[in-house]
Protein backbone atom coordinates (compact mmCIF):
# COMPACT_ATOMS: atom_id res chain seq x y z
CA UNK A 1 0.00 0.00 0.00
CA UNK A 2 1.49 3.40 -0.96
CA UNK A 3 2.24 5.94 1.69
CA UNK A 4 0.13 9.03 1.99
CA UNK A 5 1.62 12.05 0.25
CA UNK A 6 1.86 15.46 1.86
CA UNK A 7 -0.72 17.99 0.77
CA UNK A 8 0.21 21.48 -0.23
CA UNK A 9 -0.75 24.18 2.23
CA UNK A 10 -1.93 27.49 0.86
CA UNK A 11 -0.97 30.78 2.37
CA UNK A 12 -3.82 33.01 3.55
CA UNK A 13 -5.04 35.47 0.93
CA UNK A 14 -4.82 39.20 1.62
CA UNK A 15 -6.97 41.31 -0.69
CA UNK A 16 -8.93 44.53 -0.66
CA UNK A 17 -12.39 44.07 0.86
CA UNK A 18 -15.21 44.75 -1.59
CA UNK A 19 -17.35 46.58 1.01
CA UNK A 20 -15.08 48.44 3.42
CA UNK A 21 -12.08 48.89 1.11
CA UNK A 22 -9.41 47.89 3.64
CA UNK A 23 -6.72 45.33 2.88
CA UNK A 24 -7.22 42.38 5.22
CA UNK A 25 -7.29 38.59 5.26
CA UNK A 26 -10.00 37.20 2.98
CA UNK A 27 -12.52 35.11 4.91
CA UNK A 28 -15.33 34.98 2.34
CA UNK A 29 -15.32 35.06 -1.46
CA UNK A 30 -18.24 35.52 -3.83
CA UNK A 31 -17.92 34.16 -7.38
CA UNK A 32 -20.45 35.36 -9.97
CA UNK A 33 -20.02 32.94 -12.88
CA UNK A 34 -21.91 33.61 -16.12
CA UNK A 35 -24.18 30.83 -17.42
CA UNK A 36 -22.71 28.39 -19.94
CA UNK A 37 -24.32 27.53 -23.24
CA UNK A 38 -24.14 23.75 -23.61
CA UNK A 39 -25.53 23.84 -27.19
CA UNK A 40 -22.96 26.33 -28.51
CA UNK A 41 -25.58 28.56 -30.13
CA UNK A 42 -24.70 31.91 -28.57
CA UNK A 43 -21.51 33.82 -27.82
CA UNK A 44 -21.23 32.46 -24.27
CA UNK A 45 -18.32 30.08 -23.59
CA UNK A 46 -19.27 26.44 -24.03
CA UNK A 47 -18.96 23.98 -21.17
CA UNK A 48 -16.47 21.15 -21.61
CA UNK A 49 -16.46 18.73 -18.63
CA UNK A 50 -13.11 17.22 -19.67
CA UNK A 51 -11.20 20.47 -19.17
CA UNK A 52 -10.83 21.90 -15.69
CA UNK A 53 -10.26 25.63 -15.41
CA UNK A 54 -9.75 27.73 -12.37
CA UNK A 55 -12.69 29.99 -11.64
CA UNK A 56 -10.46 33.04 -12.05
CA UNK A 57 -9.56 32.00 -15.62
CA UNK A 58 -13.14 31.80 -16.93
CA UNK A 59 -14.01 34.95 -18.91
CA UNK A 60 -16.75 37.09 -17.39
CA UNK A 61 -16.33 35.90 -13.79
CA UNK A 62 -16.71 38.52 -11.05
CA UNK A 63 -14.87 37.81 -7.78
CA UNK A 64 -15.68 39.77 -4.63
CA UNK A 65 -13.51 39.35 -1.52
CA UNK A 66 -14.83 40.11 1.97
CA UNK A 67 -12.88 40.45 5.22
CA UNK A 68 -15.69 39.45 7.61
CA UNK A 69 -19.27 38.22 7.70
CA UNK A 70 -20.45 41.75 8.52
CA UNK A 71 -18.96 43.06 5.28
CA UNK A 72 -20.32 40.12 3.27
CA UNK A 73 -23.89 40.75 4.40
CA UNK A 74 -26.88 38.47 4.84
CA UNK A 75 -26.17 36.46 1.66
CA UNK A 76 -23.52 34.41 3.46
CA UNK A 77 -25.72 33.47 6.43
CA UNK A 78 -27.79 30.32 5.97
CA UNK A 79 -31.34 30.67 7.29
CA UNK A 80 -32.45 27.09 6.76
CA UNK A 81 -35.08 25.36 8.85
CA UNK A 82 -35.76 21.65 9.29
CA UNK A 83 -38.77 21.94 6.96
CA UNK A 84 -36.50 22.94 4.05
CA UNK A 85 -34.87 19.49 4.06
CA UNK A 86 -38.02 17.37 4.19
CA UNK A 87 -38.92 15.46 1.04
CA UNK A 88 -42.50 15.42 -0.10
Q: What is the mean pLDDT of residues 16-39?
A: 86
Centre a 10 Å sphere on the Cβ of residue 55 and count the other Cβ atoms it contains: 10
Does residue 47 sit within a domain? no
pLDDT band at 33 (very low <50, low <70, confident <90, very high): confident
How does the average pLDDT of the chain come out, rounded?
Answer: 82
Query: What residue numbers bound the domain in which 27 lies?
Result: 12-38+58-73
Percent of the chain with pLDDT over 70: 83
pLDDT for the residue 65: 93
Does residue 6 sit within a domain? no
Domain count, the chain: 1
Does residue 52 sit within a domain? no
41 has pLDDT over 90: no
In angstroms and rounded to an integer, the radius of gyration of the C-alpha atoms of the chain is: 19
Q: What global pTM score does this model have? A: 0.64
44 has pLDDT over 80: no
Does residue 16 sit within a domain? yes
22 has pLDDT over 90: yes
Does residue 24 sit within a domain? yes
Q: What is the mean pLDDT of residues 3-29?
A: 89
Amino acid sequence: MPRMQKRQTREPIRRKCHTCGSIKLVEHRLFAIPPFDSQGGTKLPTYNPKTRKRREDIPGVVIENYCSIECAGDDFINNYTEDDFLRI
